[in-house]
Chain A
Amino acid sequence: MLLHTVNKSPFQHAALGSCLRLSKDGSAILLIEDGVYGALKGTKISSDIENAMKTKKVYALEPDIKARGVQDRVLDGITLIDYAGFVDLAAENKAVEAWL
């Protein structure tokens, strides 16, 4: 399957919405940089992420979550990974698609 990376805040950019809509079931989605704002509870897109997690695996880059001080607000079901985990995901999936 594909690994999709999203590095834009969903509140400024359509990248995460497009990724959630167009990625296939079984895909892995990794939120990095400002994309990690998509991983938070209680936002207008939280329910979209929760829906996506029924058929897709969602990850967030922990250093980027911590850099923004939002580690206590991450949605249940999202897996936090470090850069080594990012490399593993890139290797495990057949390609990496960046939603810039």
Chain B
Amino acid sequence: MKFGILVSEGPYTHQAADSAYLFTKAALEKGHEIYRIFFYHDGVNNGTRLTTPPQDERHIVNRWSELAEKHKLDLVVCVAAAQRRGIADAEEAKRNGKDGDNLAPGFRISGLGQLVEAGIQCERLVTFGD
């Protein structure tokens, strides 16, 4: 079955980023397709590669990047939510005259249309958030 995932809570907040990750992993292990994971609102903070948790703690951002690489996942960060929270890829940073970018590997920045399209294309859209 084709699943879409919506994450609207930041990492290390409550538990939504962890729940979304563990659900995604379980779905992949069962042979389901994860069509897209869309990060919205504070969820965009899942996509900054500057995240540096203590070494003995789970690294929520790297965990997404690694899962994306392994399973060729489409991790999409909402552009408007990202701009407000200082999440940018090289192109966005340049466009907005910023001196650095911070989007983590495996993520891409795009618009809300990507969430709508996931809602249309997927058989189930599962929301994790605050």
Bin the interface of chain A by size: 10 to 19
What is the CB-to-nearest-CB distance from B20 to chain A, in angstroms, rounded to a whole number?
Answer: 11
Q: Give the residue name and chain of the A residue nearest to B126 (CB).
A: A96
Would you call A100 and B127 a contact (CB within 8 A)?
Answer: yes
Would you call A90 and B124 a contact (CB within 8 A)?
Answer: yes
Would you call B16 and A83 a contact (CB within 8 A)?
Answer: no
How far is B125's CA from A55's CA once the two chains are assembled, in angstroms?
Answer: 25
Residues of A within 8 A of B125 (CB): 95-96
How far is B25's CA from A96's CA once the two chains are assembled, in angstroms?
Answer: 18
Contact pick for A87, options B16, B30, B129, CB 8 Å: B30
A33 and B124 in contact, given A84-B30, A86-B26 (Cβ under 8 angstroms): no
Write 25 A-B pairs (CB below 8 A) sorted by A numbering: A7-B14, A7-B15, A7-B128, A32-B15, A32-B19, A33-B14, A33-B16, A33-B19, A34-B15, A82-B26, A83-B22, A83-B23, A84-B30, A87-B23, A87-B27, A87-B32, A88-B30, A90-B23, A90-B27, A91-B124, A95-B124, A96-B125, A96-B126, A100-B127, A100-B130
A residues near B (Cβ < 8 Å) are 5, 7, 32-34, 63-64, 82-84, 86-88, 90-91, 95-96, 98, 100
B50 contacts the other chain (Cβ, under 8 Å)?
A: no
Main secondary structure of the interface of A (DSSP, over half): helix
Report B9-37 residues with CB < 8 Å from chain A CB.
Answer: 14-16, 19, 22-23, 25-27, 29-30, 32
Residues of B within 8 A of A96 (CB): 124-127
Residues of B within 8 A of A87 (CB): 23, 26-27, 30, 32
B3 contacts the other chain (Cβ, under 8 Å)?
A: yes
